[in-house]
Amino acid sequence: MHRISYLIGVVVLILINPSALPSQKDSILIDTNEVNSKLDSFINYAPDLTAVITANSTVLFDHGPLNQLSSETLELNFHRPYDAILNKIPGVIMQSGAINTNRISIRGIGNRSSFSTTKLKAYLDDIPLTTGIGETTIEDIDISLLESITVSKGPTEVEYGSNLGGMVHLNTASHATKNSWTLRSHLGSFGTYQLANTLELKLKASSLWLGQQYLHSDGFRDNNEYDRWHFFALYKKKQQKSEFSIFANHIDLAAEIPSALNINDFISDPRKAADNWNAVNGRENYSRSRLAINHRLNLKDSTRLSTTISGQLYDSYEVRPFNILDDALVNLDTRISLDGIHLGNSGLKLKTGFELFYEEYNFTIFESLAGEQGLQEDEKKDQRSALNLFFQAHKSMPNWSWTLGASAQWYRFNRTELGVLDESILNFDLDLYPQFTLSYLGLKNKKLQFILSRGISIPNFEESLLPDGQLNPDIAVESGWNSELVFQYNGPLYNSQFTAQGYAMYITDMLVARRTAQDAFFSINAGSAWMRGAELSYRQILKITPKTDIEMQLDYCFTWHRFGNFIDDQMDFSGNAI
């Protein structure tokens, strides 16, 4: 099936890039409740060609955002990990070193992060999933809770902080469609199994979702066992002039860490764990809880006021061969936006608001005595604050529309070394990050779009420290200008869609990490860089019978990412690939 898709791609898109397609996983999950097992097997082994069977197919194609994964796609892939789903989007790569170690990069931004997702943000509706040090963990959200996933590439979302890499937006359903209880079980290789319960209740003026999920895996490698419990609740109530929702979830995770192998061990015995991690039974145990409340009030003239208050508690204990990390954080986020403001008869629609974020992080380092906790070596407390002010204006005309927006951001990091009373403060002053979009709609079933925006990536506190632990006074914010041209064609019945996107991003003061110890990194600004590329996507839905559709999706991604001017320690890296 891969060969057939490849040949079709050659004809339609010139060449299919295998790295842009979802990669096969070591563990193949099988839905034991799926009636049509042949169809499920077909979907798992041919991720680029998906069969869609619907009982009542009324809308053939949802031509919403250009980079959106619909509810149908999520329903078909609910048993698969996030990487198998997000990798369907050209320009997006999600890599998994283990079930609990994932990294997302968008158009090359974020691919230098070693063990986590950085330089982009993620939100569940208006609830931030990114911590104060910039790490994002979307795996904490059960896919069965989502109605769609929208990916914004590049710094195009001023409302959410103009992040250099972009944003992953997880969207929940606006209301329940039925009363149902779903029990799902999956079995996979390497002792992998999953049990999930979801309760959906459609009440008179409200909706309730309750869920529980347990995932276990023995792992492909030694010292690779994984156990994860997840509980969630989502309640939404809609009234004539307001909407109210509350979300809560809790995760308990215990995962062993096999860590990385050298090339000789990888070739001779890829199942083995790194010797030093295996010797101490390297592992992490953490619990994470979230609570969020959202209220939307409809004012006059379609103006809407939205307020979201959310918080997170996190407690972790990680055993490593070089030390033991015991850490905890608490954060609070307040987000207020005013949307749909009309300026008289000008046709302008305005949106404005702010997001205020505060986080406190405490960590203690202990000796690791063959995996057992020894004497305390260090104890520190970090306080992180961020403010994002945003404004957008939009106007639609017969054949044209434009959007102009800007975000202003301020960051402050404060670290206290307990017992020494030594305090370090790092400030990044308020700066402006604009965004402009111009769309031409004068062609039938076609759209042309030009986007110009500026984005930012803030170095976290660890990246701002020198090897001796002192603040680096020369560290600078990583920022860049992004330009993009988009062409989109929708078929006459919206049963097909072709999208072509070309982009160029010029980044200054790019951050590059240097490793000074097994658990220590510091960053330097590596001059400038050019991130250029093109993305093609074609989707076709064929109606076989009144109740049967087949959806085909073909994607192609080309990237050209190079350092511009980067000289470090008398070595010239200018022009090298990133």
Per-domain residue ranges for the chain? 2-572
Task: Convert the pLDDT of each residue in 322-348 to its tens digit.
Answer: 999 999 999 999 999 999 888 878 888
In this structure, what token pair is assigned to residue 311? 């918080």
With CA atoms as reference, report the closest residue to 63 among 495, 557, 552, 402: 495
The answer to whether residue 442 scores a pLDDT higher than 90 is: no
- Alpha-carbon gap, residue 436 to 510, rounded angstroms: 23
Residue 515 banded pLDDT, cuts 50, 70, 90: low
Distance of CA 97 to the CA centre of its chain: 16
Looking at residue 469, its pLDDT comes to 67
Min mean pLDDT across 166-175, 427-436, 540-549 is at: 540-549
Which residues lie below 8 Å from residue 405, measured CB to CB, with a gap of 6+?
158, 159, 390, 391, 392, 393, 434, 435, 436
CATH 2.40.170.20 fits 2-572, yes or no: yes
- Beta-bridged to residue 182, according to DSSP, are 198
Looking at residue 181, its pLDDT comes to 92
CB 82 within 8 A of CB 70: no
CB 366 within 8 A of CB 322: no
Report the SS3 class of residue 331: strand
Task: Convert the pLDDT of each residue in 90-102 to its tens digit.
Answer: 999 998 877 888 8
Looking at residue 66, its pLDDT comes to 58
- Beta-bridged to residue 179, according to DSSP, are none
The answer to whether residue 8 scores a pLDDT higher than 70 is: no
- Alpha-carbon gap, residue 117 to 30, rounded angstroms: 28
Higher pLDDT residue, 461 or 13? 461
CB 484 within 8 A of CB 468: no
- Mean pLDDT over the full length of the chain: 82
